[in-house]
Amino acid sequence: MADELELLRRANPVPDDAPHFADGPLDGRAEHRLQRLLNEPRPRRRVRPLPAFAGRTGRARLVWGLAATAVVLVIAVNAVLGDPGTSRAVAAPRPLPVHAASAPVPLRDMVALADAAAAADSPGPRKGTHVQSWSLGMSDGKPPVTLPEERVVRWRADASHTELVVATDPRRPGRPVLTDEGGEPHLVADGHVISRTTYPPMWSDAPPEAPPPHTAARLRVYLTEIARPQADRGTAALSTAELLDAVAELLDHWTLGARESAAVVRLFAGTGGLRPAGEVTDRLGRPGHAYVYDARGVRHMLILEPRTGAVLGMEDTFTEDAPEYGVKAGAVMGYSAWMR
């Protein structure tokens, strides 16, 4: 049981900064990560020092409430959004479309662009993040709903930091936003503050709290430490799925500089799993080049800034129906858009 508990903690399908913290079903990304965990041919345990505090930015707590709270979620969502015949206030986002007739750009070309951007005089990495995310809330037999939020984390010189989380959806500026603040889904005004927290000084030399290196070789080691438990780390290169997950966790802690972004692109180009799809406009209206990877019924899309190769966002989309959750192929499971 100890191994299984540690395995679940490492997988962390419901991080404590997720919209469903406290009571609620697993969101789409959590459900997918749990399914990947359960289907791994060889269980992997992760042991890593925890930070000195436990807050919404920590990733050490696992909350289970799917069976007990599904009825609460369904009742609350129906009360907020109405019956199936009513127009829903918050709908799941559609997958980002690739622009017709756009030319896919190979990752090796993006490596050259990123290296050129890194050669210029540019700021280094900054601890903290600014990210907008959408997570798909699912419950048995009921239509899924999307919970959008924006999170801003800023660190101070004394190693303390603040975190601001607001309910906002750039797809519908000024319109009400669905949140589960307080444990039950309800509508709030655009920009409603979900939480505003200040954390005391803390230090850690373990990834992702430690500063990320700017060479591909050292960054690979850094990301491997995020993606794999020490006992199973080995010398094998990270898989495409592992690399995507590890980079997402890194970007939830750091705003990368040009050299670190170039190293990330070089690692993506070296995995061989991502294929160029063409040009997209991300959910914040920014142009980008899309790269996709299909695995286990989910399509992962990576979006890179066209001139510098910086990661703009990641999107996970179901490629197979999940009738138990009312999810059709093509539904967006989760999306993150990182800003500077």
Tokens 């009825």 found at: 71
Cis peptide before 208 (omega within 30 of 0): yes
d(CA 302, CA 223): 17
Q: What is the pLDDT of residue 29?
A: 57
The pLDDT of residue 55 is: 32
**Do 185 and 178 meet the contact criterion of CB atoms below 8 Å apart?**
yes
Q: Residue 237 has what pLDDT? A: 83
The whole-number pLDDT of residue 122 equals: 77
Q: List the chain domain ranges.
A: 2-339
Residues of the chain with pLDDT under 50: 2-3, 19-23, 40-90
Q: Encode pLDDT of 191-243 as tens digits.
A: 999 999 999 999 899 999 999 999 999 999 999 999 987 767 777 888 999 99
Q: Is 88 helix (H, G, I), strand (E, B) or coil?
A: coil
Give the Cα separation of 195 and 55 in Å (integer). Answer: 11
DSSP 327: B
pLDDT at 95: 92
| pLDDT at residue 340 in the model | 85
User: What is the chain's mean pLDDT, rounded?
Assistant: 78
Which amino acid is it at 139?
A: S
Q: Are strands 275-281 and 287-295 parallel, antiparallel or unpaired?
A: antiparallel
Q: So what's the pLDDT on residue 94?
A: 85
